[in-house]
Structure 1
Amino acid sequence: MKNIVLLFLVVLSGGTLTYSQEKPDNFDLYLLIGQSNMAGRGVPDDYVLNGDSILVLNAGRQWQPAREPIHFDKPAAGTGLAASFAMTLLPSSRNRIGLIPCAIGGTSISAWKAGAIDPATGKRPYDEAIAHATEALRSGKIKAILWHQGESDTQPQRTTTYRTDFEKLMENLHHDLGITPGSIPVIVGELGIFPHEGNHHEGRRKINEVLHELACRHSYITCVSSAGLNHVGDYTHFDTASLRELGRRYAEALTRYTTKP
């Protein structure tokens, strides 16, 4: 048994299909952080994931075959961008894909620092992301960080500090996960700007400007457009079709980054 390089045992535990490992596999890991549009609030559909090649680190920090909802932040968690992101990458991936879902709906960027507590859920977004990612690193390497957040920081006093808050967050993540700064891509996504919304989108437009500024300042950051995407009816959350498209855009941005000269 000790000479076996890899052994995956499928275990039925409490109704959840999980994978136990004798030795870690060489997963391509992706850390998914931010708030509800990263976690996903889309209506479930019949989208099919390859559960043999795409795994998710669940709330118990065990690997299980990918299925939606990927996130588990709140009961409202539904379809998100992670599934189409992973499926778009899969044909060109040499390894299994491991998704690390750590987004928490409603969180301000101020909650994404060590020790900070999200008052709505009582969770510690940053600390939990570090704990989940550290466990995942036993099974592979983090290939990219995916971030979608900002809806909770559209007030003028917050948009003015968003850039420095984000840069500090990335500095902390790299340090606490042992990642060389700038060595992996960070993909961020624009907030939705929807027609017929009136003036309520101005704060989100400012956050989008900051996201593009970050991408200009740091070569490892890429900002994905939300142009043409639709909402579920609340002018905040992307609908299912838009989340599928946004996931593909994240994957395409990552591919362009990793193949550029």
Structure 2
Amino acid sequence: MQFKIISIIFLSVLLITKAFAQDKNFHIYLCFGQSNMEGHAKFEAQDTVNVNERFKVMETINCPNLNRTIGNWYTAKPPLTRCHTGLSPADYFGRTLVANLPKNVKVGIINVSVGGCKIELFNKDNFESYVSTSPNWLQNMVKEYDGNPYQKLVDMAKIAQKSGVIKGILMHQGESNTGDTLWTKKVKLVYNNLLKDLKLEESTTPLLAGELVSAEQGGACASMNPIINTLPQTIKNAHIISSKDCEAVSDHLHFSAAGYRKLGARYAEKMLSLQGIRLQVE
């Protein structure tokens, strides 16, 4: 009986400690996708200065060149994905959030993205067969995530949940699935797995999905945008981020740095609106 009482007290202390360790004002967002979420544009001087310390990134691999180690938080100066990636929508998503949220709120980004990948890479049950038939360059990027990008995202998210609260998921993917009418169902499978593995509720975990380079910008995969726009029919809490007027580069697949800034701000504007906060216009 005495042992049972001691065990109950011990468990209670652990629960209380966990509750106090988790900061409800540390808002964490998971990001995944292919090269546009990974960060294709070279970041410029304006992107590396005046980064608010309330905006954090969790490093997902060891990056000696950045003096960052896996599983730790750092001020979110680009790159926010791997050691040598570029500017992505996540950069100005976070910057815009901290500029519009109360001063006591921090924002954290965890970005696990692989350029050129299909959505199948994030299917935790069948990704290995997809990777095994992929080009060497893609396999090498996957290796940086210990061979399993989905699991890496989940593992990092679980670490993050010890110090903050996951408030949403950002995705930019679809170029490699252009024309795939089953794409929305494949995304739903990934989304549902994330909810289950991280013990999240769909009603409080919006999924924000960005359009690809638009037709007006000569987007090579713009024909995928109508499919992307049907995602809310499959996932109730999915929201589409317009790429209209987001500048693209000459390959017609990727956005310029200016395009990423605008697209990232739009992700933030949508997330703020879902939280009942109107974007402050300077």
Normalising to structure 1: TM-score of the pair? Answer: 0.81
Secondary structure, aligned partner of 1:135: helix
Q: In structure 1, what residue type is equivalent to 2:174?
A: G
Within 5 A, what are the aligned runs for 1:193-204? Answer: 193-195=214-216, 197=218, 201=220, 203-204=221-222
User: Sequence identity of aligned pairs in percent?
Assistant: 29
Match of 2:254 among 196, 214, 237: 237
Deviation per residue, 1:80-115 (Å, 9 max, x gap): 111211111113324211111111211110111115
User: What is the aligned partner in structure 2 of residue 145 from structure 1?
Assistant: 169
User: What is the aligned partner in structure 2 of residue 55 from structure 1?
Assistant: 56
User: Cα distance, 1:25 vs. partner?
Assistant: 4.1
Within 5 A, what are the aligned runs for 1:24-43? Answer: 24-26=22-24, 27-43=26-42
Higher helix share: 2
User: What is the aligned partner in structure 2 of residue 10 from structure 1?
Assistant: none
User: What is the aligned partner in structure 1 of residue 11 from structure 2?
Assistant: none
User: What is the aligned partner in structure 1 of residue 93 from structure 2?
Assistant: 85
User: Cα distance, 1:163 vs. partner?
Assistant: 1.3
Find out whether 1:215 has 2:232 as its counterpart.
yes
Find out whether 1:255 has 2:272 as its counterpart.
yes
Find out whether 1:69 has 2:45 as its counterpart.
no
User: What is the aligned partner in structure 2 of residue 132 from structure 1?
Assistant: 156
Match of 1:191 among 199, 209, 212: 212
Match of 1:97 among 107, 123, 134: 107
User: Cα distance, 1:236 vs. partner?
Assistant: 0.5
Q: Distance in 2 between matches of 1:25 and 1:220?
A: 24
Deviation per residue, 1:184-239 (Å, 9 max, x gap): 21111001124474xx73x542x322221112444411101111122222111100
Larger Rg: 2
C-alpha contact (below 8 Å) 2:52/2:98 kept by paired residues: no
Secondary structure, aligned partner of 1:222: strand
C-alpha contact (below 8 Å) 1:189/1:226 kept by paired residues: yes
Normalising to structure 2: TM-score of the pair? Answer: 0.75
What RMSD over aligned residues (CA atoms) do the two structures have, in Å? 2.4
Aligned residue pairs, count: 232
C-alpha contact (below 8 Å) 2:31/2:111 kept by paired residues: yes
Q: In structure 2, what residue type is equivalent to 1:88?
A: T
Q: In structure 2, what residue type is equivalent to 1:177?
A: L
C-alpha contact (below 8 Å) 2:27/2:107 kept by paired residues: yes
Q: Distance in 2 between matches of 1:229 and 1:65?
A: 26
Find out whether 1:109 has 2:119 as its counterpart.
yes
Q: Distance in 2 between matches of 1:49 and 1:114?
A: 38
C-alpha spacing 1:166/1:105, structure 2 compared with 1 (3 Å): same
Q: Distance in 1 between matches of 2:111 and 2:177?
A: 21
Instruction: Extract unaligned runs of 5+ from structure 2.
Output: 1-19, 62-69, 278-282
Secondary structure, aligned partner of 1:71: coil
Q: Distance in 1 between matches of 2:21 and 2:52?
A: 20
C-alpha contact (below 8 Å) 1:194/1:235 kept by paired residues: no
C-alpha contact (below 8 Å) 1:28/1:97 kept by paired residues: yes
Deviation per residue, 1:99-146 (Å, 9 max, x gap): 111112111101111152444123312111111111111111111100
Secondary structure, aligned partner of 2:162: helix
